[in-house]
Structure 1
Amino acid sequence: MPIAELFGQQEAVKKLDGELLSGTLSHAYMIWGPAGSDRWRLAMALALAANCTGREGADASREGLWYCGECSNCTKLLAGVHPDFAVVRPDGKVIKIDQIREMQSRIALRPGEARLKTWVIDDAHTMNEESQNCLLKVLEEPPGHALIMLLLDEPGALLPTISSRCHSIRLGSVDRESLVEWGRRELGMSAERAAVLAAVSSGLRGKMERLARDADYFKVRNAIISRARSVMWCGDGGLALTTSEKLLDMLKRSSGGARGAARAGIADEASGDAIDGAAAEGAADGAAGALDGDIAGWQSGEDDDASETAAISTPEGACEVLAVYMRDVLAKSLGGGPDVLINIDLADEISADAERGRPEQFRRWAEKCMSTAEALAANANARLALDDLMLDLALLLT
């Protein structure tokens, strides 16, 4: 059987399958792309195909990192209980040197059951320099029975000495039209709902799948945007500071995901009630088709376990939401049509705001939102950062 849902990543799959068939599989791969681009599923696909004993004598026409799903290695990998497979994930915000040292000692041992001792370093961009230098020792003299996969946003986050020793596999976005068709076919969505989710997910199939089963994402997103819109051009610094306080309080209460969103009291705050209904339509139906049974037992990865609501229910995430909204307003003010918008379900609000200002202002606001998000990622004070942003929207600060 083929690995579940690697839609739109045929080039990466073909490359890895070719290396596996020709016996030229590398000991280390750097699988990179934005969260939601199916990095985790591709890592699962390679782990399965590389260790499947059922591939021997299988029909040569079978492609796409095929695995049998029935041999001992396949069943244990799919159940997440294989002794020769391990995952390293951030301990807090970073992957620490002790985690890599443990990997270093364990990967040196020969596999007990699988063909390859397989390790996945998830969010590898969170390794600090100490951890990367420790990993470098493994990559410089890799055991012949090892397969190491680093999953990350983009290779520039790693030391050149690390990235140069890994085969690079880049995962990209899928065109919007294809993703809409996939959502209709595989998740049973209406055309309207699929179009909204495909646009908001920016062409990332994994993100679209998560949105399909996240009933509160649009409520939280709309509440964030609604608060920002309430102070744009208002000229009232006091209102801006009050709005900042309310936004931060709402984010704290909604950060628990679906239950948190309900506690935050934002169920009726969406600025586009009719479209919000289409976006959230049938979340349970989407969830039913979101995960194929053959990977349900796997250890959860970034494409299968992350909550989009939780991701935006932080000050940093809220600023990223606002940056995308301002980008849409900028695009509209420059004459862009619906096909260039990301928040297509907020087209009326975007058009109204675009008519009130000039492109230069929207460009600066988009940049301000992103710089605020970056500052928050670097541990800036959340209240001060949001105060500054809301004052900028209210008073058009330079």
Structure 2
Amino acid sequence: MDAATPTATAAGDLPWGEVWGQDDAVRRLRAAAADPAALTHAWLITGPPGSGRSTLARAFAAALIAEPGDDNAARQVLAGTHPDYTALRTEGVIISIKDARALVERSYFAPSLGRYRVIVMEDADRMAERTSNVLLKALEEPPERTVWVLCAPSEADLLPTIRSRVRTLRLRDPEVADVARLIALRTGVDPQLAEQSARHAQRHIGMAQRLATDAAARARRDDMLQAVLRVRGVSTAVEAAAEIVAGATDDAKALTAERDEAERAQLLSTLGIAPGAAVPPAVRAQLKALEDDQKRRATRSLRDGIDRVLTDLQSLYRDVLMLQFGRGDDLINLELATTLHAVAEAWSPQRTLTVLDDIAETRERMEQNVSPVLALESMLITVAHGRIL
């Protein structure tokens, strides 16, 4: 089977048709769904961003809930509308204790229509320790017909107490050529653009698809890299940091503005308020709650966007390091080869490693709610001077 075709038999093979390139994982989960004796009550699906963790989790949930051959129930699960399926993907920076407790409470309900009740937590790595402890009891004493499916980049992103109570399923990291073929198949873009997008996205399928179909996203990525390559001192580091935050903000707005407006319009319509009419005081609290949720989502979207820029910067200086060690055959940023060769010749490998280490530390600091501008300024000063000041 070609690696860029959907896993299983075909795209119409419910519920596995949308799972791509994860044959071994699908075989294991098919077997578990078909044999109660082989089924574990809690699973952890790990893999790099864009590897399809959430897609696989939904397909597994559909296979567990729906009776064999019941395509209607499977479609309900895949659409997120089946009463025995609950999924949580936090819209904030972290998963709140309130949301975790709501999931735990729901997990104790017996399935109403399906074979099992399935709880999917798509961002399990975004739990603070005290939130993880809320989940722990449900994993220690699970109801008989409830299955938990957690998703995270790696096992290390969860507490040892959580890891010890789940069965881990690690997804494979797809090749650039495989992702490029999939993107070309899905979007119809030129194969050369699909290959560039897959390479720049570092095999992240969702990001590769966005780069392939959104010229503005491609331009923003290029602008961010060029801004960093122009850094020579403190003043240019400050300018570049501001440019990165502004670009990430624009990117976040592009992703959330349309959704925010649609949510607001839907809420007002549900409340019987005509477009353009004044909002009565009695319903302002509901509108305020929606706006607060949207602000939290915007904060996460901004931080995710900055993290994406930092990931791109890691790819940039990874390329420099590859060139310094005589490896120019596997560059991520091939279009910048001339500039990267110049940096590789001007810098020592130790300086490149120092910059890479500081970028990694900056990504960690961003997870701790450090000011994005200050974190980026500090990191870019390291880029300018070749040492952490």
Moved more, 31-40 or 101-110: 101-110
1:238 to 230, 235, 240: 235
Structure 1 alignment gaps of length 5 or more: 56-67, 261-305
User: Cα distance, 1:396 vs. partner?
Assistant: 3.6
Equivalent AA in structure 2 for residue 36 of structure 1 = G
Q: What is the TM-score with the length of structure 2 in the denominator?
A: 0.77
Q: Residue 32 of structure 1 aligns with which residue?
A: 46
Q: Residue 280 of structure 1 aligns with which residue?
A: none
User: Cα distance, 1:149 vs. partner?
Assistant: 0.6
Distance in 1 of aligned mates of 2:188 and 2:150: 33
Question: Is residue 193–residue 212 contact of structure 2 (8 Å, CA) maintained in 1?
Answer: no
Which aligned pairs between 1:319-398 and structure 2 lie closer than 5 A? 319-338=310-329, 340-397=330-387
Which aligned pairs between 1:146-185 and structure 2 lie closer than 5 A? 146-185=146-185
Q: Residue 219 of structure 2 aligns with which residue?
A: 219
Deviations 1:126-161 (A, max 9, x none): 222222222221122211111211111111222222
Q: Does 1:20 align with 2:33?
A: yes
Deviations 1:253-273 (A, max 9, x none): 44313699xxxxxxxxxxxxx
Q: Residue 263 of structure 2 aligns with which residue?
A: none
Question: Is residue 323–residue 367 contact of structure 1 (8 Å, CA) maintained in 2?
Answer: no
Question: Is residue 312–residue 321 contact of structure 1 (8 Å, CA) maintained in 2?
Answer: no
Deviations 1:25-57 (A, max 9, x none): 2221111112211001101111111222243xx
SS at match of 1:162: helix
Question: Is residue 196–residue 345 contact of structure 1 (8 Å, CA) maintained in 2?
Answer: no
Q: Residue 107 of structure 1 aligns with which residue?
A: 107
Q: Residue 229 of structure 2 aligns with which residue?
A: 229
Moved more, 3-12 or 29-38: 3-12
User: Cα distance, 1:312 vs. partner?
Assistant: 6.2
Structure 2 alignment gaps of length 5 or more: 1-12, 258-297
Deviations 1:305-349 (A, max 9, x none): x9xx967643x44333222211111112221123x2222333333
Q: Relative to 1, partners in 2 of residues 1:238 and 1:175: Cα closer, same or farther, differing over 3 Å?
A: closer
Q: Percent identity?
A: 28
Equivalent AA in structure 1 for residue 319 of structure 2 = D
Greater share of helix: 2
Equivalent AA in structure 1 for residue 161 of structure 2 = T
SS at match of 2:25: helix
Question: Is residue 319–residue 332 contact of structure 2 (8 Å, CA) maintained in 1?
Answer: yes
Q: Does 1:256 align with 2:246?
A: no
Q: Relative to 1, partners in 2 of residues 1:203 and 1:146: Cα closer, same or farther, differing over 3 Å?
A: same
SS at match of 1:256: helix
Question: Is residue 111–residue 145 contact of structure 1 (8 Å, CA) maintained in 2?
Answer: yes
Distance in 2 of aligned mates of 1:112 and 1:259: 34
Distance in 2 of aligned mates of 1:206 and 1:317: 12
Distance in 1 of aligned mates of 2:371 and 2:205: 34
> RMSD of the TM alignment (CA)?
2.8
Deviations 1:348-387 (A, max 9, x none): 3323332333322222222222222322322233333333
Q: Relative to 1, partners in 2 of residues 1:186 and 1:167: Cα closer, same or farther, differing over 3 Å?
A: same
Q: What is the TM-score with the length of structure 1 in the denominator?
A: 0.75
Equivalent AA in structure 2 for residue 343 of structure 1 = N
Q: Residue 123 of structure 2 aligns with which residue?
A: 123
Deviations 1:207-257 (A, max 9, x none): 4334334433221111111111112xx4x4434334434444444344313
Q: Does 1:189 align with 2:203?
A: no
Question: Is residue 216–residue 257 contact of structure 1 (8 Å, CA) maintained in 2?
Answer: no
Equivalent AA in structure 2 for residue 382 of structure 1 = P
Higher RCO (CA < 8 A, seq sep 6+):
1
Q: Relative to 1, partners in 2 of residues 1:104 and 1:396: Cα closer, same or farther, differing over 3 Å?
A: closer
Distance in 2 of aligned mates of 1:14 and 1:191: 30
